Structure 1
Amino acid sequence: MSLTDDGVRGFVSAQQVAERAGVSRSAVSRAFTPGASVSPETREKVMRAAAELGYQVNDLARGLLANRSRLVGLVATRPEVGFRAHLVAALTAALIRRGNLPFLINTGSSTAELEAAQAALFGYRAEATIILSGSPPASFVELARRNGQPLISIGRSEPGCDHVKVDNEAAAREAARLFLARGLTRLGLAGSASGTPSIVEREQAFLDEARRLGAQAVAARGADSDYAGGQQAAQVLFAMVDRPQAVFCVNDLIAFGVMDAARHRFGLRVPEDVAVIGFDDIPEASWDAYRLSTFRQDPAEIAVHTVAHLDRRLASPGAAPSTVRLRAVFVERASTSSSTTSSSPRQTAE
């Protein structure tokens, strides 16, 4: 920043750098353009003047001139909650390393908030849009498609998009088998009424596998996919006459609510009276208060594959949509009664 003639602070301009270096305005532009023709002596003078003044290239203006904004929109509902917060952090770091400027669009919960989110995303001409799992409506996705933006979907299915998915179904079925292998035949599911694609996949696969194996399986759902939702589900599950011996929770926040309700409201021991498995492996899962056995999603791994999709799509806009499906690996901790050995993460391309 610098002071203008009237004492108002403003950004240092390329013209000011040119005047300090004693060169032309165009020489400053060439000095900051990779591969442009400029003598080493001129480049050195420009860079020294820029450092003295604190000058930074206006990447937004440069991108507009090149018809490439470098902006990438991250679209999410409740991005501050649970695993999604860690995923947003990993995605923004990966995009910045790539040279993009990520900006987060919180779709909110009202029509007005959704309309404001849409105006922000499409008004700034983002070069790509990443849709996170959650509940951004299909209309939002369709509007992005009509605006000609490359679309990458994480954790949900959208026609014509590239996808990065975690194999929710395989993990949920594995959870049912783990409980049965330990002699636990009365199983509970702590789910969520939010009905997001990932949540629905986990719920349906767990219940289907448990019943296929001959277990008694009951479900209870909280109002949302959070700690309070877990406590709501626990109130139903543990008030039953034949309460579950084990509970699969569709994410870790719900699992924390279930465990605290079990211990403090119903006087149950974890895992002696009820075993609990979660999903996500957010950092709090390893805290001494929970030591939660859970299925791990790796935010950094998801971000790497998302950026790879973006590179491929921008290089070949007409290429067929591609899907990468990642395995969620079981991490054993104290909320289940015996140890198992989990295998390494793997991914397959479809």
Structure 2
Amino acid sequence: MTTPRKVTSLDVAKRAGVSRSAVSRVFTPGASVSDRTATKVREAANALGYRPNVLARAMLTGKSKIIGLVVAYLDNHFYPTVLELLSEALEREGYHVLVFMAAHTAHDIEDVVGQILDYQVDGLVLASVALSSDLANRCRASGVPVVLFNRKLEAEGELAVVSDNRSGGRMAADHLVSLGRTRIGHIAGWDGASTQRDREAGFVEGLHAAGLGMFAREVGDFRLPRAKAAARRMFDTSDRPDAVFVANDYMAFGVMDVLRAELGLRVPEDVAVVGFDDVPSAAWPAYDLTTIRQDAEAMVTITVSSLLAEIGGSNVTPPDPLPVRLVRRGTA
């Protein structure tokens, strides 16, 4: 069985009785073409099963209408939600999203971003990944705007969309102190992330304001198995905390599973738990997790508007951190 020959724009032009350039204009957003010609070309294209080559068009126009999105992990429920919101928002603006997975090390990100630039993307969104200043400058030198999502570098002129993580950490501490908890621990995420550093800094500030110090600290690295191991080390002892602030909801779910199913502890009677993000599953009755809510929709809206403004050549002022709020549920 032979493979059918691929339909080209020349085939469409012959069938529609127009020039090849007219076919190109019909499938180029914003190009000038008469309604009569557009109708003839689209009817011919549908009849032949023709689809324009987007990457080839990008070589001619310099615009691919593709946004590269680099994410470190999708097992954290916050990021599938963000990915869906970003894709929908960009598609409304005529763009498509090309997703790349990467570890959260700067070296790995350099390799991945190098690959993405080969696709002539119009812009990049880096979600919760490390990014060196040199790499950010390299992207800008290539004419590719970059927005960091849920991370920041503290570099001059960077576009980073983040929540007020420091205030969120402070809220977690204040809430646990208000419940009368005094032996309060922390299960941290990846120490290389600005989100982790800011959340912990605010948490420690809140404890110190109440005359307390951090009772115990372990690192879960934003990974479920490591968060569970951290919970075992922290709580499988007679001198355990009576409360814990976990750096995100995803890890908090694993911590709660260890507390209840493995160690036989009651939440919140024996241990109060506070997470961070307010992913949809935090409200499930099985967890009913008290947490600090990030406004994912607002973060995505600002990310898209900032990125498109940069692509359009505007100078964009780096946005302020977005406010967060405490969502009280049954774990604290």
CA shift, 1:278, in A, is: 0.5
Q: Give the corresponding residue for 1:125.
A: 120
CA shift, 1:157, in A, is: 2.2
Within a 5 Å distance, the mapping from 1:208-227 to structure 2 comes to 208-227=205-224
From the superposition, tell whether residues 194 and 83 of structure 1 become closer, same or farther in structure 2 (CA, over 3 Å): farther
From the superposition, tell whether residues 239 and 99 of structure 1 become closer, same or farther in structure 2 (CA, over 3 Å): same
The 3-state SS of whatever aligns with 2:180 is coil
From the superposition, tell whether residues 35 and 111 of structure 1 become closer, same or farther in structure 2 (CA, over 3 Å): closer
Q: Deviations over 1:198-249 (max 9, x none)?
A: 0111112112211221234223223421222222222232234442221111
Q: Give the corresponding residue for 1:340.
A: none
Task: Say whether the 8 Å CA contact 1:194–1:225 is kept in structure 2.
Answer: no
Q: Given the alignment of the two structures, is residue 13 of structure 1 paired with residue 8 of structure 2, yes or no?
A: yes
1:314 paired residue among 287, 311, 314 = 311
2:51 paired residue among 32, 56, 81 = 56
Q: Deviations over 1:151-177 (max 9, x none)?
A: 211222232221211011111101111
2:176 paired residue among 171, 176, 179 = 179
Q: Give the corresponding residue for 1:339.
A: none
Within a 5 Å distance, the mapping from 1:268-279 to structure 2 comes to 268-279=265-276
Q: Could you tell which deviates more after superposition, 70-79 or 28-37?
A: 28-37
1:203 paired residue among 200, 205, 224 = 200
Q: Which has the higher contact order (CA 8 A, sep 6+)?
A: 2
Task: Say whether the 8 Å CA contact 2:220–2:228 is kept in structure 1.
Answer: no
Q: Give the corresponding residue for 1:259.
A: 256
From the superposition, tell whether residues 79 and 147 of structure 1 become closer, same or farther in structure 2 (CA, over 3 Å): farther
Distance (whole Å) between structure 2 residues aligned to residue 30 and residue 264 of structure 1? 63
Q: Could you tell which deviates more after superposition, 299-308 or 232-241?
A: 232-241
Q: Deviations over 1:44-99 (max 9, x none)?
A: 32222222222223332223212222222222323444423332332233222222
From the superposition, tell whether residues 176 and 10 of structure 1 become closer, same or farther in structure 2 (CA, over 3 Å): farther
Amino acid paired to 1:329: R
Q: Give the corresponding residue for 2:225.
A: 228
What's the RMSD between the two structures over aligned residues? 2.6
The 3-state SS of whatever aligns with 1:8 is coil
Q: Given the alignment of the two structures, is residue 85 of structure 1 paired with residue 60 of structure 2, yes or no?
A: no
Q: Could you tell which deviates more after superposition, 158-167 or 168-177?
A: 158-167
CA shift, 1:279, in A, is: 0.6
Q: Give the corresponding residue for 2:38.
A: 43
Distance (whole Å) between structure 1 residues aligned to residue 123 and residue 317 of structure 2? 14
Q: Could you tell which deviates more after superposition, 130-139 or 192-201?
A: 130-139
TM-score (structure 2 length as normaliser): 0.88
Q: Deviations over 1:247-272 (max 9, x none)?
A: 11100121112111111222111111
Q: Give the corresponding residue for 1:303.
A: 300
Distance (whole Å) between structure 2 residues aligned to residue 93 and residue 133 of structure 1? 19
Q: Give the corresponding residue for 1:288.
A: 285
CA shift, 1:291, in A, is: 1.3
From the superposition, tell whether residues 70 and 330 of structure 1 become closer, same or farther in structure 2 (CA, over 3 Å): same
CA shift, 1:312, in A, is: 2.0
Distance (whole Å) between structure 2 residues aligned to residue 168 and residue 13 of structure 1? 52
Distance (whole Å) between structure 2 residues aligned to residue 164 and residue 109 of structure 1? 17
Task: Say whether the 8 Å CA contact 1:192–1:225 is kept in structure 2.
Answer: yes
The percent of aligned pairs where both chains have the same amino acid is 34
Task: Say whether the 8 Å CA contact 1:191–1:219 is kept in structure 2.
Answer: no
CA shift, 1:280, in A, is: 1.1
**Structure 2 gaps, min length 5:** none
Q: Give the corresponding residue for 1:343.
A: none
Amino acid paired to 1:17: V
From the superposition, tell whether residues 136 and 88 of structure 1 become closer, same or farther in structure 2 (CA, over 3 Å): farther
From the superposition, tell whether residues 150 and 115 of structure 1 become closer, same or farther in structure 2 (CA, over 3 Å): closer
From the superposition, tell whether residues 138 and 85 of structure 1 become closer, same or farther in structure 2 (CA, over 3 Å): farther
Task: Say whether the 8 Å CA contact 2:223–2:251 is kept in structure 1.
Answer: yes
Task: Say whether the 8 Å CA contact 2:235–2:241 is kept in structure 1.
Answer: yes
**Structure 1 gaps, min length 5:** 1-5, 337-350
Distance (whole Å) between structure 1 residues aligned to residue 51 and residue 18 of structure 2? 17
Task: Say whether the 8 Å CA contact 1:79–1:88 is kept in structure 2.
Answer: no
Task: Say whether the 8 Å CA contact 2:102–2:112 is kept in structure 1.
Answer: yes
Q: Give the corresponding residue for 2:150.
A: 155
Q: Give the corresponding residue for 2:67.
A: 72
Q: Given the alignment of the two structures, is residue 327 of structure 1 paired with residue 323 of structure 2, yes or no?
A: yes
CA shift, 1:274, in A, is: 1.2
TM-score (structure 1 length as normaliser): 0.84
